[in-house]
Structure 1
């Protein structure tokens, strides 16, 4: 790890592990997050547009008044489970830290929205207020920050779809508190980026979507993407089990990509693992037919 990153650890006071609502906290750049960016196979122009938009908006927010250009630093990634939204967000956080310099050492906080919910009246609202008004505010005061709100619909549920009888008023107030917290961070800290992901875009409160500077739906991989994912996964297996090398043949990969239409990236990788569970239970002896059969079974389960 570069010396500058070690220095960042000394200068950034990260939240302690186990604090309510904090799933992860680290200093960026981070090598494992860099690998995450490379493992998501999307069109290069989409990944470039994500990074360029965030980097440009950070500079705009630092110089143009919020009233004239209400940028919140929020990027919303939506799409089916398994398409790589969370992995992409972590990789994007790393890229931001590497590309946008001159602001100090970047920190990354991943929020666990499920830990903020409570059946006790008023507690969810207080937890959300503490997260945004204290923890994230303190981190933003130290320097640039990327916040990941994974499964954001848990935290910012569409209030119009909530029943006042079935849902306590605390849920509504917690959503209000989260929106107020986002507004406060946006106005006070132009070097805070919020990356939000959701499997259920229709369940998100429209007020969050209106605050997003960019909304991107991550698609199920096309044939080229599926081929790249399969090759990446199989190559990792071959590194440990060289006998699986025939699966890296061009014709095998082409056919596997062709018959796997509609399968998301996570299931593609699991299908490769399932192919290794052949009659011999030996990855060294996995065959192309094992792979094809596994992909077919996966498609039938969609």
Structure 2
């Protein structure tokens, strides 16, 4: 019989299961423009999980096999985590790595006790079964959904069940850390202040994924324009233009996703450019970047 983690119908809470390495995920890793020192630290921590944990007792180095990526929305945390899973598997050829992606929102329920049971079953059965078969990386996106800060919960929102769900996550992390040294959790959060402190205390590394600085903005713009030039060769002229520095300066303060959307907005600056994207100009990108920052500031001020 096929184990649950590999069944044709994925168990509740598992959105996707895939074998590693996966070149498509490698492309995600390369697409995230981030200080190489940060990427190196991240990859090194993930590799250490699979080299040292099987050999060193947890009483010496209490690794839980959990890495938490935090930062503003759009900075590429989820893509970075998926890419990290690929790069980690690459470091261990022929080891049979697998990536499980958890969908936390399918586990929550307004019915008393159901969320706690769903969380416990996910960790103790589905994830445990996968880890029993070989090296496993688990992506916990929006981890605050599963490990909410219990000290900040509203008394009007069924706090007992939410408390118990967070308790279940913590208990299962401890149990899995004891049983499986070939298991690594990659968690992400846009709101680290909403994550329970007991969860973050179990993380082997909490890494801040920052907004791109000026040079990173330039690299993101260059990558985006170079990609467009494969379809519209005339756009390639913008990559080498000296004014790209001005466009990058205008993008400072935006996240990577917003910068790429800024280019899309610039392509729609007028009907002529929309009909013929080869007409794209850096001036249009500068205009769109300014508009994007203005709309974001305005949106925040209205909240």
TM-score by length of 2: 0.92
What's the counterpart of residue 38 of structure 1? 30
Query: Which 4+ runs in 1 deviate beyond 4 A?
Result: 10-13
After TM superposition, list the pairs within 5 Å mapping 1:1-302 onto structure 2.
Answer: 14-17=6-9, 19-101=11-93, 104-279=95-270, 280=272, 281=274, 282-302=276-296
Whole-Å separation in 2 of the counterparts to 1:221 and 1:248:
18
Aligned length: 292
Q: Secondary structure at the match of 2:72?
A: coil
Tell me, yes or no, if the aligned pair for 2:97 and 2:135 is still in contact at 8 Å: yes
- Whether the aligned pair in 2 keeps the contact of 1:12 and 1:27 (CA below 8 Å) is no
Mapped to 1, the partners of 2:269 and 2:198 lie a distance apart of 50
Instruction: Name the SS of the counterpart of 1:62 in structure 2.
Output: coil
Query: Using the alignment, how far apart are the partners of 2:4 and 2:159 within structure 1?
Result: 38
Cα pair 1:27 1:105 within 8 Å, conserved:
yes
Unaligned runs of 5+ in 1: 1-9
- Tell me, in whole angstroms, the C-alpha distance in 2 between the residues paired with 1:234 and 1:261: 17
Give the aligned CA root-mean-square deviation in angstroms.
1.8
1:85 CA displacement? 0.5
Deviation at 1:13?
5.9
Q: By how many angstroms is 1:127 displaced?
A: 0.6
Distance 1:194 1:231 in 2: 33
Contact map agreement 1:22 1:111 (CA 8 A) in 2: yes
What residue in structure 2 maps to residue 7 of structure 1?
none
Partner of 2:300: none
Does the Cα contact within 8 Å between 2:4 and 2:11 map onto a contact in 1? no
